[in-house]
Amino acid sequence: MKYSFFNPLLIAIIILIIVMSNLHIEYSDYSKGGEIISFFLAPATVALALPLYKKFSLFKKNAIPILVGIICGSVSGIVTVISLAKLFHLSDDLTISLIPKSITTPIGMALAEQLGGLPSITVVAIIVTGIFGSIIGPFLDKIFKINDKVAMGIAMGNASHAVGTARAMELGETEGAMSSLTIAIAGIITVIIAPPLWNFFSHFIN
């Protein structure tokens, strides 16, 4: 658990903040220089399909429980965000920005913008969720004695998207493949169910 906190993404963010602060680099300047890296974010996500291809027979064997698990995870994640946001009286645009926290950045930003949120806040939420999930996920598996590789992979992908998938691949090929699958399906499900769920909560829970 203690070594999990040395997450490469977390360390990179901390170093970047320190360097930019000390050298007084504006975010707009940094963003221009990082555009080419951002461009490859979507193709890199697509590349996660390779381990899924290798384990596709495992998916076919467990298709129904896998799909049910992903759907339940996606719905509960969205409902939890909206409920807590209402409880703490967060503004609508901030709440919307937090809804896509558990899907990949390209899809999450597009969904937040479509619903009227702030994509920049969504990016932060996605990064924080990914780092936290990759750290705490394996720890929770041990606490609750979850040894099923398929379940572990689905949980990591559903809760912490690509960052969690990278961690799942460290745990094993099966975990990585199931996590990769979850990223794609959870992204599609979230795009479909997030708007009606938000409309329901925003109209009936105020």
As a whole number, mean pLDDT of residues 185-205 equals: 89
Q: What is the pLDDT of residue 203?
A: 77
Full residue range of the structural domain in which residue 166 is found: 62-206
Q: Rounded to two decimals, what is the model's pTM?
A: 0.81
Tell me: pLDDT of 124 over 60.
yes
Where do the H-state alpha helices sit in the chain?
Answer: 8-23, 27-33, 35-39, 41-46, 49-54, 56-61, 63-87, 92-98, 105-115, 119-143, 149-171, 173-204
Query: Is residue 170 pLDDT above 90, yes or no?
Result: no
pLDDT at 100: 95
- 19 domain-assigned: no
User: How much is the mean pLDDT over the chain?
Assistant: 86
Whether residue 6 lies inside any domain: the answer is no
The answer to whether residues 72 and 159 touch, using CB atoms and an 8 Å cutoff, is: no
Say if 139 falls within a structural domain.
yes
Q: What percent of the chain is predicted at pLDDT more than 70?
A: 93
Does residue 20 belong to any structural domain of this protein? no
The number of domains in the chain is 1
Helix (H, G, I), strand (E, B) or coil at 21: helix
In a domain, 57, yes or no: no
What is the spatial distance between Cα 173 and Cα 168, in angstroms, rounded to a whole number?
A: 8
Per-residue model confidence as pLDDT tens digits over 60-93 = 888 999 999 999 999 999 999 999 998 999 999 9
In a domain, 32, yes or no: no
Quote the pLDDT of residue 6: 66
> Residue 49: inside a domain, yes or no?
no
Decide if 12 is inside a domain.
Answer: no
3-state secondary structure of 62: coil
What's the pLDDT score for residue 69?
A: 92
Q: How confident is the model at residue 3 (pLDDT cuts 50, 70, 90)?
A: low
CA 156 → CA 67, 122, 146, 182, 196, distances in Å? Answer: 15, 19, 12, 9, 25
Q: What is the mean pLDDT of residues 157-185?
A: 89
pLDDT above 80 (res 193): yes
Q: What pLDDT, on the 0 to 100 scale, is given for residue 5? A: 58
